[in-house]
Chains A and B, each alone.
Chain A
Amino acid sequence: MLTAEEKHQIDHEISLVPAPKNACIEALKIVQHNYGWVSDESLKDVADYVGMSSAELDSVATFYNLIFRRPVGRHVILLCDSISCYVMGYDGIKEALHEKLNIQYGQTTADDRFTLLPNCCLGTCDCAPALMIDNDLYRNLTVEQLDEILNKYT
C-alpha cells in the first residue's frame, strides 16, 4: 500500500505532467527512496495509482539501471567500470572489493550491509578510478583506502 505521504508526493509529480502515467518513473523513485528497492507489490501499487498495467510499468522499471527490482543492502556500492577507470586501475579495486566483501557483482553481503554493482562512467574521469556509495563519490581510489571508506557505512 502506498502511504499517504507517498501518494502526496506522487500527486505533486502528476500535477507537473499531462497524464498520470507520465509521472511513473518519478513515482518509482519515491517508492525506492523509502524502501531501497521496488518490490512486486510496490510496483503494482504504483501501476494502479498512475493507471498503467504492472507489465507496462515493469517494462519501464527494468529499462533503467538504477531502479532496483531486487532487494539491496543498506548501502549500494556503484563501481565505475568505464574506460578511464579501466585504464587507471579499476581491476584492482574490483578484485579488492570482491575479496573484502566476499560478494560478486549483483550480490549483497550476508549482513545486508552492502550491495555491489558495476556502473557506467561516473563523469569524474580525471580522478579515476572512482566509485559511489549511496550519495557519496570517492575518487582517485587506491586499494589501501577501501577499508577506511567502507568503515564509514554501518
Chain B
Amino acid sequence: MEKPLTQHIVPGRAPLSLKEYEKVGGYQSVRKILKEMTPQEVQALVKESDLKGRGGAGFNTGLKWSFVPMGPDAATPKYLVANADEMEPGTFKDRVLLEGNPHQLIEGMIVAAYAIQASISYVFLRWAYKVAAREITKAIQEAYDAGYLGQNILGSGFNLDMHLHTGVGRYMCGEETALLNALEGKRANPRAKPPFPQVSGLFGKPTIVNNVETLCCLPHIVNNGAEWFKKLGLTVDAGTKLFGVSGRVKTPGCWELPMGTTIREILEDYAGGMQDGYLFRGLLPGGASTDFLVEEHLDLPMDYPSIQAAGSRLGTGTMIIMDDQTCPVGFTLNLMHFFAQESCGFCTPCREGLPWVERILLAIDKGEGKPEHLLTLDFHTKYLGPGNTFCALAPGAMEPLQSALKYFREDFERHIHEHHCPWSKAKAWQPSI
C-alpha cells in the first residue's frame, strides 16, 4: 500500500533534515515545476488530480486556485497561507505531518505558491504545537539556506518568503477569512464573501489558504501525475487520507490509508476494535462538527460522497467514537459547550443560540429537562442551520446535535422522564467558567 504522505515519518524519531529529505527525493517537485511547468500547468495538473481540501470542506484544490487573478495586471504581493491551526475537537492529523516531516509541507507550499504566483507565505500554526513550531522554524531556515526559499529560487526568477505565525488560540481561526483577520492583527471574526480571499484576502491582496494535509499532497502529485493520485483512492475520491480514531478503542491513532477505506476496516483493523467492556454506539466521522453515524453505517467507505449520502461529512477524517458507557446527552453537551465558547459573537443566532442550546442540554443532563426542551433543540437545529448564520460555525455545531436527537432521542427522553442521567457512573458535564 502506498503511503506518500507518511512514508518518511517514523514516530518518535526526529524528522528528516533537508539533506536527508533531498536524498529520498525531497524538493524534486520544486525543481520540476520551476524548470518544466508554467503556473497554469501546475494548476491544471492539481485540478485534474481531483485533490480535495483536507481541512474539512472538500473543495477541489486546483479549482480553488483558479480564481486567483493571474498575469501582469494581477494585484501583488499575492499570499499563500498554510492552515495549521488544527483546533477541531477530535482532530490530530496535521500534527503528524507538521512534526513528522516539515520539509514536505514547505515543498508543498512552494508548489502552491508557484501555481498562484504568490511571493509571501505563512504557516499559521496553533500555539499548542510546540514541537511542530520548533521543527518548522528549523526547516524553513534550512530551506532558505539551500535556496528553496528567498529570491530567485534555483535561478528561476521565482521569489518566495515564508514566515511561521503562531496563533493565540481561537477555534474561529480555522475559518479561512477569520484566519486572515487574525494574521492582520484583528479579532478573528469571519469576513463577508464575496469578495473571496482569492481576489481580496490578506491585506486586501489575492490569497489562498490551504490545509496542511492538502499542501503535503502536492509534491507527490507533481512527481507522479494526476492519474497516479486518482488511482490511490479505492472509490470515487482521489489520493490517500490521514484517518484517525479516538475514544474507547484498543489502539487509538492516525493512519494514512487510501481514500474510500471503510469505517469498519479503520475501526477494527487499525484501531483494534472497542476496548473490552465497551460497546460501540456511534461516531463522529470527521471531527466535532460532523453528524453522528451509527452501526448501520460501518461498512461505508470513508470518502466525501458516501459519508455525505449518509447524512454526515467526511470533515477532517478523524473519528471520535462514542461508547455505551458515555452518556449521549453529556457527549453532546460537551460539544455544544465548545461551540458556544468558541463562537466569535459576531452574528446573533450563533452568539445567542449556542449558549441557549448548551443551557437546555445542561438542564436535561441534570435531570431538570422538560419534554418541550426537545422541541426547542429541534428548532435550533433549523434556525442555526446553513443560511441563517454568518459563517459555518453554528451550522457545524448543529450537525452532531441534530443527529444525536435523531439516533439517541430515547436517551434524551429517558433523562427527561426519569429526572436524572441514567449513566450513573458518568458525571454530569460541568461547563468550565
A residues contacting B by CB (< 8 A) are 16-18, 21-26, 28-29, 59-60, 63-67, 78, 81-84, 86-88, 91, 105-106, 118-128, 132, 135, 137
Of B126, B321, B326, which one neighbours A123 at CB under 8 angstroms?
B126
Contacts A63-B187, A83-B288, A120-B338 given; does A126 touch B246 at CB 8 Å: yes
The 5 closest A-B pairs by CB, nearest first: A118-B432, A65-B169, A125-B246, A82-B89, A126-B252
Q: Are B185 and A121 in contact (CB under 8 A)?
A: no
Q: Are B244 and A125 in contact (CB under 8 A)?
A: yes
Q: How far is the CA of A88 from the CA of B187 in the complex (A)?
A: 33
Q: Are A83 and B185 in contact (CB under 8 A)?
A: no
Q: How far is the CA of A21 from the CA of B186 in the complex (A)?
A: 9
B residues contacting A by CB (< 8 A) are 86-92, 94-95, 126-130, 163, 166-171, 182, 184-188, 203, 244-248, 252-254, 284, 288, 318, 320-323, 326, 330-331, 334-335, 337-338, 341-342, 344, 426-427, 429, 432-433
Contacts A83-B320, A87-B248, A87-B326 given; does A124 touch B92 at CB 8 Å: yes
Q: Which residues of A contact B321 (CB under 8 A)?
A: 87
Contacts A105-B433, A121-B87, A121-B91 given; does A87 touch B322 at CB 8 Å: yes
Of A66, A88, A125, which one neighbours B169 at CB under 8 angstroms?
A66
Q: How far is the CA of A22 from the CA of B433 in the complex (A)?
A: 31
Closest chain-B Cβ to A131's Cβ sits at a distance in Å of 11
Q: Are B168 and A25 in contact (CB under 8 A)?
A: yes
Q: Are A126 and B92 in contact (CB under 8 A)?
A: yes
Q: Which residues of B contact A23 (CB under 8 A)?
A: 185
Of A18, A66, A84, which one neighbours B168 at CB under 8 angstroms?
A66
Closest chain-A Cβ to B163's Cβ sits at a distance in Å of 7
Q: How far is the CA of A21 from the CA of B203 in the complex (A)?
A: 12
Of A29, A123, A126, which one neighbours B245 at CB under 8 angstroms?
A126
Contacts A81-B432, A120-B89 given; does A125 touch B252 at CB 8 Å: yes
- Select from chain B the residue with minimum beta-carbon distance to A50: B185
Q: Are A121 and B432 in contact (CB under 8 A)?
A: no
26 contacts between A and B (CB under 8 A): A17-B184, A21-B185, A25-B168, A26-B185, A63-B187, A63-B344, A64-B169, A64-B170, A82-B334, A83-B288, A84-B246, A87-B247, A87-B321, A87-B322, A87-B323, A91-B426, A120-B87, A121-B288, A123-B94, A123-B126, A125-B90, A125-B246, A126-B246, A126-B254, A127-B252, A128-B252
Closest chain-A Cβ to B178's Cβ sits at a distance in Å of 10
Q: Are A86 and B169 in contact (CB under 8 A)?
A: no
Q: Which residues of B contact A83 (CB under 8 A)?
A: 89-90, 284, 288, 320, 331, 334-335, 338
Of B168, B284, B429, which one neighbours A86 at CB under 8 angstroms?
B429
Q: How far is the CA of A128 from the CA of B252 in the complex (A)?
A: 9
Q: Are B288 and A82 in contact (CB under 8 A)?
A: yes
Q: Are A123 and B331 in contact (CB under 8 A)?
A: no
Closest chain-B Cβ to A24's Cβ sits at a distance in Å of 4
Q: Are B185 and A128 in contact (CB under 8 A)?
A: no
Q: How far is the CA of A106 from the CA of B433 in the complex (A)?
A: 7
Q: Which residues of B contact A18 (CB under 8 A)?
A: 203
Q: How far is the CA of A137 from the CA of B426 in the complex (A)?
A: 26
- Select from chain B the residue with minimum beta-carbon distance to A124: B92
Closest chain-A Cβ to B281's Cβ sits at a distance in Å of 11
Closest chain-B Cβ to A2's Cβ sits at a distance in Å of 17
Q: Which residues of B contact A125 (CB under 8 A)?
A: 89-92, 244, 246, 252, 318, 320
Closest chain-A Cβ to B196's Cβ sits at a distance in Å of 20
Q: Are A132 and B326 in contact (CB under 8 A)?
A: no
Q: How far is the CA of A19 from the CA of B257 in the complex (A)?
A: 45
Q: How far is the CA of A24 from the CA of B254 in the complex (A)?
A: 36
Q: How far is the CA of A67 from the CA of B254 in the complex (A)?
A: 31
Q: Are B247 and A121 in contact (CB under 8 A)?
A: no
Q: Which residues of A contact B254 (CB under 8 A)?
A: 126
Contacts A84-B246, A87-B322, A123-B92 given; does A118 touch B433 at CB 8 Å: yes
Closest chain-B Cβ to A39's Cβ sits at a distance in Å of 17
Q: Which residues of A contact B203 (CB under 8 A)?
A: 17-18, 22
Q: Are A65 and B185 in contact (CB under 8 A)?
A: no
Q: Which residues of A contact B185 (CB under 8 A)?
A: 17, 21-26, 60
Q: Which residues of B contact A106 (CB under 8 A)?
A: 433
- Select from chain B the residue with minimum beta-carbon distance to A28: B168
Of B168, B170, B341, chain A has the most CB atoms within 10 Å of the CB of: B168
Q: Which residues of B contact A24 (CB under 8 A)?
A: 185
- Select from chain B the residue with minimum beta-carbon distance to A121: B89
- Select from chain B the residue with minimum beta-carbon distance to A27: B185
Q: How far is the CA of A138 from the CA of B288 in the complex (A)?
A: 22
Q: How far is the CA of A121 from the CA of B278 in the complex (A)?
A: 23
Q: How far is the CA of A83 from the CA of B288 in the complex (A)?
A: 8
Contacts A17-B185, A126-B245 given; does A29 touch B89 at CB 8 Å: no
8 new A-B contacts, CB < 8 A, other than A86-B330, A105-B432, A120-B89, are: A22-B203, A78-B128, A87-B323, A119-B169, A121-B90, A123-B94, A124-B92, A128-B252
Q: How far is the CA of A25 from the CA of B203 in the complex (A)?
A: 16
Closest chain-B Cβ to A82's Cβ sits at a distance in Å of 4
Q: Are A65 and B331 in contact (CB under 8 A)?
A: no
Q: Which residues of A contact B163 (CB under 8 A)?
A: 16
Q: How far is the CA of A23 from the CA of B95 in the complex (A)?
A: 26
Q: Which residues of B contact A29 (CB under 8 A)?
A: 166, 168
Q: Are A84 and B169 in contact (CB under 8 A)?
A: no
